[in-house]
Every structure is written in C-alpha cells, then in structure tokens.
Homo-oligomer: A and B are copies of this chain.
Amino acid sequence: MYSSELIKGTLKTIILKLLSDSDEMYGYELTQRVKELTGGKIQLTEGALYPTLHALEAQGVLSTNVVNVGNRIRKYYSITPTGKQLANDKVNEYADFIHTMTFLLGLKPNMG
C-alpha cells in the first residue's frame, strides 16, 4: 500500500478509465479490480468510492442500472459519451503529469 497522500487526486481518473474499458461495473467490483490489477498496492476505500460515483453520476458522466442479484442489490455503472471524453482527457492529462514528475524527480523515463 502506498502512503495515502500519494493516491489523492487519482480516484476519478481510475474510475473513469476502468469504466471506459468495460461495458459496466458495480462499486464493489471496481474495488476488487483495482486491488487485483495493482497487486494490492492501491485499495479503493468505500467511503471515498461511493460518494465519488454519486458525484460522477450527478455530473452526467456515469449512468446507473440497479439489478437484484438474489436478494442483494447491485448498482451497475456505465460511462456516458460525455464521460468517455472526460476519461480520455483525464488519462491524457495524467500521462503528461507523470512525464513531468518523472523529469522533476530525476527518474529514469522507464524504470520499474
């Protein structure tokens, strides 16, 4: 796990990117997918995730589809056309930012 301050500001970008590459995903699924893809290094907390999903929906970049699975509720989120554009912009901006930080911190362009 990274120190919490590092992850700040990346939540929306992560959500939008994953939903951009998938037909639809529900909240809990997003937490599991991120955990899996990052080997547990990034773990989305529910207290941050759900309010952000609600905000993105209110903003019109996500739409929802509530489904009953057995007796449990599951709320699927899918990205809207506006959202897809925003996802692209955010990912591109982040790529640029990474490039800038890599230079500023004197890191090798492709270490890892």
Contact = CB atoms under 8 A, between A and B. Distances in A.
Nearest to A11: B5
Residue with the greatest number of chain B CB neighbours at <10 A, chosen from A12, A104, A106 = A104
Interface in A10-57: 10, 12-14, 17, 21, 34, 37-38, 41-42
Interface residues of A, number: 38
**A interface secondary structure, majority:** helix
A14 B107 CA distance: 12
A104 B14 contact: yes
A35 to B, nearest CB: 11
A8 B3 CA distance: 13
Interface of A: 2-3, 5-10, 12-14, 17, 21, 34, 37-38, 41-42, 91, 93-107, 109-112
